[in-house]
Structure 1
Amino acid sequence: MNFIDDYTVLDLEMTGLSVKKDKIIEIGAIKVRNNEIVDTYKSFINPHVKLSKKIIDLTGIDDSMLSTAPEEDEAMYKLIDFVGEDCIIGQNIIFDYSFIKQWAVNKNVKLDLYYCDTLKIARELLPKDEKKDLENLCSFFNIKRENAHRALDDSFETMQVYEKLKQIAKNNNIEKLCFLPQKFNVKLKKQMLATKKQKEQLNRYLEMKNIEYKINWETLTRSEASRIMDKLYVKYGR
């Protein structure tokens, strides 16, 4: 089996777990050639929403670190250019990629990329009783874990995990389909921008209740506008 030696490792941090309502806040990517790191890309993204305490505690990222960060489009176009036609390596990479795909669908950007998932590979190669999350994979392989849940650090550790898994397969003459690049097949619907009526209604409500609420009006979608209104109604009444 020919293992992939040239690839890009990718990790994202988000405001939450929902592709439809949460935002990317940090990108970390590593370009590898012949098993060696040749370039990196990292960027914060301004999500224009207030981070929850859970995300702040998990990542160490706070609102002040994102207030002057690049807009989503700028950071994402740079990421797409950085990846090029590389196979993407990642830990449970379908989850991260779904956020990229949602952005791409919204912007009519065509993506035709392949991936290998260290989570799937680990499930194939390692003992069943071993936990396969990145934290435990690093422990299993004696990889130093630093700045957990920061995108570039997680990418660096994922690369080391991938190389360790490759070495196990090579040393034991193991051929597994999980090492072959798979084409991403994530299907998502385009999120439509909020209507003029929705924006006016939301703006009137904020003024009436004298509420300060961080909103990116240019990228606000219909579903986001509805969720914000529902949340405000619950907290402040109609």
Structure 2
Amino acid sequence: MYAIVDIETTGGHASAGKITEVAIFLHDGMQITGKYETLVNPGIPIPRYIQALTGITDEMVADAPLFEDIAENVFNLLHGQIFIAHNVNFDYSFLRHELDYCGYKLQSKKLCTVRLSRKVFPGFPSYSLGNLCRQLNIGIVNRHRASGDASATVRLFELMLAADKQGAISQALNARSKDKWLPLHLPQEYVDDLPSTPGVYYFHNEKGKVVYVGKARNIRKRVTSHFTGNSAGRQRQEFLRNIHSITFEKTGTELMAFILESIEIRRLWPQYNNAQKRVESKFGFYTFEDQQGYLRLAIEKRRKYTTPVFAFNLLAEGHNLLRQLIREFKLCPKLCFLQTSPDPCAGMAEKTCKGACEKKEKPAKYNQRVLEAIGHLQSAQPSFLILDAGRQATEQSCILMEKGKFYGMGYVPRDVAVSDTAMLKDLLTQYPENEFILNLLRTYANNNAGRLVQVPA
């Protein structure tokens, strides 16, 4: 009925580590009914620190069977049994990964004696196997060897069977139980408290530091999706081991969750968020004064710690805008780097350039038109509100874009008029903008023009 398992490995995750020892105790709920143990040749060197921890050396496993040689036997012992281990997902992920490679599909119900012992024996300072054995007077020999640790886990499980007055074991075996897939150190109540609403969630490590920020249309559903599946990769296994608690913040809409997630990633710089940490390769208009005193307007790739007078996504978009400014404000295409050839200025031929490139127009007059062009570009950007559902029926969410810039967002009572922008700002939280947020809001505005509330610029 039960297969109580312990393994030793060359590393901490199944996709790169290998098994060096396996111990399986079959148990009927009353007594041990069978036992299997063997060293395993991992086919790779065992790291020195692992050898020091387990005592298993390269020489000891040199003549041991490869896992493929024992795979059929291991699968037959585990198949149809309830798989039990201390930190069950670690042992299960390794054996499932190795068996899958050998053509055997392991699908077992699981019980974790770490999570169960917290329920059956509450109040202990630590639930590591060594500390539990000391607290419960369980003798343990050959610590950090598969047979020794599995034997101690057998005795721990027997004590839990006898002390389980609240039915924790049967509850854990229930098909709807979260125990089988929750991260080892995450109490179930954190997941039970999650709302099924849009918002942002935070995974915290043992010290309370945020290690991951995510957004969701449905927080509960999205969070639980992180814990399902059986990826054996190092990053996922390390990620799950470091989750000790969850906090969240509700938002009225999924759009607000996207925005808040981006803000929080840049504020907290969590360990496991990667997508929005990259420096974004965007473009912008930059100005500088040349040696003759002429103000130059140039398109440059946006770099960190630089602030363009206007930003955009595509180079072609910038060229089109620059051509419009050159025509409307009679700027010089050479001084704007749109014409780079030594040929005569195309702007003078088209009568849009007044000769600044040939010093026929004084810098002060030309520079004034450059500044007017920049002011026009900035003032022409839209100002609008996005009003949508709030976190509760009595409020509505509000996002404010002002002259093409993201001002902030928040919630306002449904009975408050939103025509007064100055008053509205008192009700909103101002946030720093970034390229991701601007692109998000521009895309939303283009696709939902009828839902925007225009406000004076």
TM-score, normalising length: structure 2: 0.38
| Kept in 2: contact 1:145–1:157 (CA 8 A) | yes
- C-alpha deviation, 1:150, in angstroms: 0.7
Q: Per residue, is there more strand in 1 or in 2?
A: 2
User: 2:47 aligned with 1:52, yes or no?
Assistant: yes
Q: Distance in 1 between matches of 2:103 and 2:67?
A: 15
Among candidates 159, 176, 188, match of residue 231 of structure 2: 188
More helix by share: 1
Match of 1:72 in 2: 67
Q: Using the alignment, how far apart are the partners of 1:96 and 1:11 within structure 2? A: 7
- In 1, the alpha carbon distance for the partners of 2:171 and 2:12 equals 25
Tell me, yes or no, if the aligned pair for 1:29 and 1:42 is still in contact at 8 Å: yes
Percent identical among aligned pairs is: 26
Find the residue that maps to 2:154 and give its secondary structure: helix
Aligned-pair RMSD on alpha carbons?
A: 2.1
Q: C-alpha separation between the residues in 2 aligned to 1:122 and 1:112?
A: 24
1:96 aligns with 2:84: no
Matched, 1:155 2:150: yes
Aligned pair 1:35/2:78, yes or no? no
**CA distance 1:103–1:137, shift in 2 (3 Å):** same
1:114-148 C-alpha deviation (Å, 9 max, x unpaired): 11111110122223442101001111110111110
Displacement after TM superposition at 1:90 (Å): 0.9
Query: Mean Cα displacement is larger for which, 150-159 or 29-38?
Result: 29-38
The 3-state SS of whatever aligns with 2:111 is: strand
Give the match's secondary structure for 1:61. coil
Find the aligned partners of 2:55 and 2:77 in 1 and give their Cα distance: 25
- CA apart distance, 1:187: 2.4
- Could you tell me how far apart the structure 2 residues matched to 1:100 and 1:180 are? 20
Q: Determine whether 1:174 maps to 2:166.
A: yes
For the pair shown, the structure with the greater C-alpha radius of gyration is 2
Comparing 134-143 and 42-51, the one that deviates more: 42-51
Q: Which structure ranks higher in relative contact order (CA pairs < 8 Å, sequence separation ≥ 6)?
A: 1
Change (3 A) 1:28 1:95: same
4+ residue segments displaced more than 4 Å? 181-186
1:73 deviates by 0.7
* Aligned-partner Cα distance in 1 for 2:81–2:3: 6
Q: Structure 1 regions of 5+ residues with no counterpart? A: 1-5, 191-238
Which residue type is aligned with residue 154 of structure 2? M
Q: TM-score if structure 1 supplies the norm length? A: 0.70
1:107 shift after superposition: 3.2
How many residue pairs match? The answer is 182
Q: Secondary structure of 1:27's partner?
A: strand
User: Equivalent residue of 1:127, what SS?
Assistant: coil
Residue type matched to 1:58 in 2? L
- CA gap of 1:189–1:123, structure 2 versus 1, over 3 A, is closer
CA contact (8 A) 2:40 2:64 kept: yes
Contact 1:9 1:158 in 2 (8 A): yes
Residues 1:62 and 2:44 aligned together:
no
